A = this chain, B = another copy of it.
């Protein structure tokens, strides 16, 4: 019943940096630096968050599962960790950095040469409890998609007034976001 296929996950993870690069690089700041209101993120912030996750979440947690199993819960994740990550950088720099750290992490993942039985290994999430390595890696890919979903929504928000009566037809403008803490 496990739908997870590691090659499919890697295929997607490989493409996200180029996707965001094609969408965002040199785009006017109206699209990239504006957010959806107080305490929300811009597309720029999202790229910073993705970099922060590369450094502190996915591969570090995968290594905790492989080394300690369920005995050592993952450390807490700082949802505002991108703030220091973004400090003093341009969007172009963040896009370059995301591509680099993602590529390094995928090289490390491939080098683990994970077998099906490895994917069943269990770790402990501090809030969610027991999780498998398979679930962690699938989440890495789905997390890229959740932020692509968010970026398209943040950007569309900037045209909420400009589209006039068409706002009723544009699904993305009906999406209020679905973030969990």
Interface residues of chain A, those whose CB is within 8 Å of chain B, are 1-5, 7-8, 11-12, 15-16, 18-19, 21-23, 27-28, 30-31, 125, 128-129, 131-132, 134-136, 138-139, 141-143, 145-146, 148-150, 152-153, 155-156, 158-159, 161-166, 168-175, 177-180
What are 11 contact pairs spanning A and B, CB under 8 A?
A4-B159, A11-B31, A16-B23, A131-B165, A138-B159, A139-B166, A142-B163, A142-B166, A145-B155, A146-B173, A148-B148
Chain multiplicity (copies): 2
A27 surroundings in chain B (CB, below 8 A)? 11-12, 15
Contact indicator B152/A145 (Cβ below 8 Å): yes
Contact indicator A172/B146 (Cβ below 8 Å): yes
Contact indicator A159/B171 (Cβ below 8 Å): no
With A128-B166, A131-B165 as contacts: A142 and B172 at CB distance below 8 Å: yes
Task: For the complex formed, measure the closest distance between the CB of A82 and the CB atoms of chain B, giving whole angstroms.
Answer: 16
A135 surroundings in chain B (CB, below 8 A)? 162-166
Contact indicator A163/B149 (Cβ below 8 Å): no
A162 surroundings in chain B (CB, below 8 A)? 2-4, 134-135, 138, 142
A2 surroundings in chain B (CB, below 8 A)? 161-162
Task: For the complex formed, measure the closest distance between the CB of A73 and the CB atoms of chain B, giving whole angstroms.
Answer: 14
**Bound Cα distance A168, B111 (Å):** 30
**Bound Cα distance A136, B167 (Å):** 11
- Extra contacts besides A131-B166, A145-B156 (18): CB < 8 Å: A3-B159, A8-B28, A8-B30, A11-B31, A15-B22, A18-B22, A22-B22, A23-B148, A125-B165, A128-B168, A135-B165, A138-B163, A142-B170, A142-B173, A143-B170, A145-B159, A146-B172, A149-B175
